[in-house]
Chain A
Amino acid sequence: MNLENIKSEIEANVPGCQLEFVLNPSPSAQHSLRLDHAHAVAVATYLRDAADLRFDFCSNVTGIDWPAKELTEKVKVKKLVDGEEKEVEEVRKTTIPGTLEVVYHLFSVEKKHGPITLRMSTKDRETEVHMPSLTPVWRSAEFQEREIFDLFGVVFDGHPDLRRLLMWPDFIDHPMRRDYVAPDDFEYEPTAHDAVLQRANQHQSEAIAKLASEAEGK
């Protein structure tokens, strides 16, 4: 099973779909296909039903959070300095916008092959967090998409029962996002150092201040 072949096969059979081949440089060489939202369900259904592919087993569904990143690169540019053309180094900043990505791992029970990896991304991390749900194609995505909704905040359109899976319903954060800050509520062991030490110190002084104020109250 070559992913390039699968890609061209899908493109031939699902008209209009835009697939992007995502290379995986690690030794595992599990490359993946990025789907566009509009054709995701059609592509998934094709993968499931095509007689020679039969990816009927959607094993794993995962979210990944990619916060916005700032890249700084130094570029040499030619510029006119004092009427002379010179090469000047310039620092250019580019921001890669943040996105939430969802990854599907498919296997085939019938043909006993796999995995192939599908990915989809949202437009950004704040407002445009929608993407089509693949639960209508594979039931196994049901709880896993709910989990991603809960922990990452991706909204799956077309999911039959999109509720929080793990945290309680009144919880409003999405803890698996990289910028989530957990409640600061525990003490570190006495061997603390660096940032941990700072935090421990802060907790200590708070506790001491509280003790002192209590003593005054009495």
Chain B
Amino acid sequence: MSDATNLTAQIDINTIPALGKEQLLELAMGPQHPSTHGVFRMNVVLDGERVMKLKPVFGYLHRNHEKIAESETYLGSMPYTDRLDYICSITNNWAYAIAVEKLAGIEVPERAEYLRVITGELTRLQNHACLLGFLMQDMGASGTPLMYAFREREKIMDLFEGLTGARMMCNYLRFGGCRVDTPAGWMDAARKVVAEFPRFLDEYENLLVGNEILMDRTQEVGILSKELAINAGISGPMARASGVDYDIRKVDHYSIYDRFNFRIPLGERGDVYDRYMIRFLEMRESIKILEQAMRDIPDGPIVDPKTKIRGFRPKPGEAYGRIESPKGELGFYLVSDGALNPYRYRVRPPSLINLTVLEDLCIGQNVADVVVILGSIDIVLGEVDR
């Protein structure tokens, strides 16, 4: 392994050739920094206020999820997936469940699919709401917007708690279905929350969308071109803000998304403002999906009774399953060798891969914009580092 170890030396930021005669300033933002959404670090080289170079440093929340999963049973990894992207636990469950269902060829009953869509879209709502709050916080609007967002989040948390017993770490999906059915009155409560949600969006839009400071700080900042977005594997709202028409809900036809009538909003310029607006529009589409799903949900079993829970051993082989999580393409790649635990378990983290272009977006911008650009990418460190 001699070669491998030689290369581990970190590139020293001091060796970056000086650009021009100006004095360059090196700045380490993070890992403890109020704007980095957790423990993330950026080594920035500045010329005055301008960013000349930016190197992200990862691993401060590397919790060895993949290694641990290799010694857990398939079901035993389900609660760990909650903790990947800890703001949207149910969509993580969902991606993992889809990968296992592909690996073992499991069917999902109709009602369970509806429950998955409902909880998944509720997750998307609260993720986007929180993201907007955090983004505003990064821009200096401390307090109010985040408070509004968390007020809405609490309503959805209450729904999750009523359904699954936990606010954040729902651990709700099972291979071939869901863990529990809705308790009495839950669906009505959920309908009420969804019916009231547009009011929050209107309020938020009134408060912020036309705001001049916000426009100044976001328009034409951090522009991501369509070509780079595709080549760099950018997915989710961030890619769509750059005009990439790619939503896995429409492309893969997974679950029952074919049955719903909804549109995919696209951005034009790919700047922070587009990334920010696209989340508003996506929330409105999610509400449409939720309304349709709650109207149509049938009765029936919520889990495929043939699925084994104890001693679940998929046949040898491998599968890659993915969904459109609120952050982007969340995929799970599983290799089975016929044992109780996966031979290889891999998470395709949208947050990490969306950060690939962070440097490209930040170069030439002001250092204060770095924070806003990072906020608009929407990362959760639990997923970036796993």
Contacts and interface: CB of A to CB of B under 8 A. Distances in A.
Contacts of B348: 59-60, 105
B333 A105 contact: yes
A127 interface: yes
Contacts of B102: 26-28, 30
Interface of B: 1-5, 7-11, 58-59, 62, 64, 66-67, 102-105, 228, 230-235, 244, 246, 251, 314-322, 329, 331, 333, 335-336, 343-344, 346, 348, 352-353, 355-357, 385
Contacts of A126: 1
A27 B233 contact: no
Contact of A129 (B4, B317, B353): B4
A162 interface: yes
A130 B7 CA distance: 12
A172 B62 contact: no
Given A27-B104, A166-B62, A56 B322 contact: no
Contact of A56 (B7, B231, B385): B231
Interface string A156-177: 0000011111111111101110
B233 A62 contact: no
A155 B10 contact: no
Closest 7 CB pairs of A and B: A26-B317, A140-B233, A27-B105, A28-B319, A166-B59, A139-B232, A169-B10
Contacts of B232: 138-140, 142
Contacts of A50: none
Contacts, number: 142
Nearest to A172: B5
A25 interface: yes
Given A26-B316, A64-B335, 8 more contacts: A26-B104, A28-B320, A56-B230, A58-B233, A60-B331, A140-B356, A144-B353, A165-B58
B244 to A, nearest CB: 6
A56 B352 CA distance: 19
Contact of B7 (A24, A64, A105, A155): A155
A24 B334 CA distance: 12
A115 B1 contact: no
A57 interface: yes
A209 interface: no
Contact of A140 (B244, B319, B353): B353
A195 B232 CA distance: 45
B352 A143 contact: yes
Nearest to B57: A165
A9 to B, nearest CB: 22
Nearest to B234: A140
A93 B318 CA distance: 27
A28 B59 contact: no
Given A169-B9, A176-B66, A26 B336 contact: yes
